[in-house]
Amino acid sequence: MLELELPYPPSINHYWRRVGPRTLISREGRRFRQRVMAILAAFHIRPLANLAVHVKVFPPDRRRRDIDNVLKSLLDALEHGGAFHDDSQVTDLRAKKLRPIAGGKVIVRIKGTEEQNAESRDHM
């Protein structure tokens, strides 16, 4: 199992930008992706397969936010950082929005589903 504390991701509304006929990742999105990649590189992460990803979301303020808007940029950054080869490998995705904290953050727990299934059997 891998547990990481990461910066608060840009929402999907701020992740993409249109430039003429092209759609690109925004400057904010690229900056977030680079920060996550650096954190993963420091941990020498190797890609996993068949994953359960559980995310605790701590927004930066009390504004109304859709929790699903942070997941795309987060999963994209984790993929580019080498946590997994492709986000299609995620078979169990859970997110929980918690109290706001200054600056915001996310805590991500990633584990192989075989590991998760073994834990479930142990709790029965």
Domains of the chain: 2-122 (3.30.1330.70)
Q: How confident is the model at residue 120 (pLDDT cuts 50, 70, 90)?
A: very low
Both tokens of 110, joined, read 């990633």
Query: pTM (2 decimals)?
Result: 0.80
Tens of pLDDT along 30-73?
999 999 999 999 988 777 778 999 999 999 999 999 999 899 99
Q: What is the largest CA-CA distance in the chain?
A: 56
List, in order, residues 6 or more apart from 112 with CB less than 8 Å away. Answer: 48, 49, 50, 51, 52
Distances (CA, A) of 10 to 26, 33, 106, 115: 10, 10, 11, 30
Q: How confident is the model at residue 115 (pLDDT cuts 50, 70, 90)?
A: low
What gap in Å lies between CA 23 and CA 5, rounded to an integer? 29
Q: How many CB atoms lie within 10 A of CB 23?
A: 9
Token look-up 């199992």 returns 1
Residue 123 in this model has a pLDDT that exceeds 50: no
The pLDDT assigned to 116 comes to 47
Q: How confident is the model at residue 100 (pLDDT cuts 50, 70, 90)?
A: very high
Residue 13 in this model has a pLDDT that exceeds 50: yes
